[in-house]
Structure 1
């Protein structure tokens, strides 16, 4: 399938059906500038570990010195891109609005691919609370309270807590009488549009990036997301930076290929994500809790 060329094409521009991108706005962002020089495409995030104070029982007694510990979490960048060749025939005869017909589609594709790296981290988590009955208000309530308890016991700050859920889990919480729905009308901000409510200390966000019947409740520090705009190449005919959905930075380059009488439009970005673990084994993630309905994955 390519750009439509038949006679009688309507000038009505339909909305592009693409996923609302919100997850990067809810986690800790690593500045793209940190991925440069000796750091290359991988960087290590320091995760500080709590210390414990001691009591000097006798004045003047020798004190004990303790280590200050940190756990390393690595983040590696991946190069996401979308490339499109535009023939002279398309450019001259078919395209009416290049930005709407080509660039918009490319930007949405690459930005979605970038968010996918963060969604993968959430989808690969094992459920901490499973077999939640979507038709039982008591079951849904108790699962969210359990997640809230686990985050509280881990000393996660009360602020900046999010609950990302798929449409099926969103339907389960929206059916609760006490759920306070947030009216996001009048705003075109993607994150605000995705917010469905504030409940149990969490800002609830609906996203199709998560597996069916699941929700991840987390503090902002539970995940890290990195994004860097590729350098503008010297050899390209023209190039420029583009800001995509959820603030994801992208690069678009154009290059004419005379041997095939076509323009090339390539949109790309560097991106990566990691779950924050608080142990060297990479098994303890106290900053995030995953919930799963009984039907999830079935």
Structure 2
């Protein structure tokens, strides 16, 4: 039986960013240096395949520091942690390594600088997300106000409208965030913004690639985890860019083939914490069912690399 023809548009960049790559290496090097078990507070990155692979090597994932014994090393996830967490680890004389993405750390430093200058912070982010909790936890209670939508801006109760600054979660929708920033600037004309965009290069680039391919696709699949903010934003961006069907899948087994019946073109991308092996798995699943032509659409080239912490660059 002849397979139907299908064009696959592969977005580039896609998948791992420099911060995710660094965080995974930190866990692997910690296991090499100290042996198993090495504890990790929260999923090191939001991807089940990655987390399961590290668990098999001896990583133990926990949600709170009190689940970690004093005599074993602990790693803080790429999303960042409230300041109280490393303070408690130091109090307990624990060995710890901070795998916070340097671009998230940049936002932490910004927040502290504004606080030292007497400004109250407004954070644009998703309530309950580990990155948001970590960033808000850099400053004392009440010093960071969270907004998720344009509507939230109207109800903000600030200490002094002339003494404000804003920061953002690094994995937000570029377009949605621009609307919230505009609302903040309209209500609080004196509000201070970041010197450089807080939304990270990887999030911006992946959204840009999706915008480039979405109008040409009957459907678009994002390989990523449901708790991955940047992956979920890619689904939203695809829909907003004119793709009539977009779906988030963790693995090829989750593809809804009935929803793809009769299509001629599919876009494929991946969130910043999804490894290339999972994208290959999805492409192979399409090859099993279709006569596939693959076209890569590259909208940016990424050469960013982040250094591994010094503790893991020296012999044990």
Bin the TM-score by the shorter chain.
Answer: under 0.3
Flag the structure with larger Rg: 1
> Which structure's residues are more often helix, by fraction?
2
> Which structure's residues are more often strand, by fraction?
1
TM-score of the two chains, using structure 1 as the length reference: 0.24
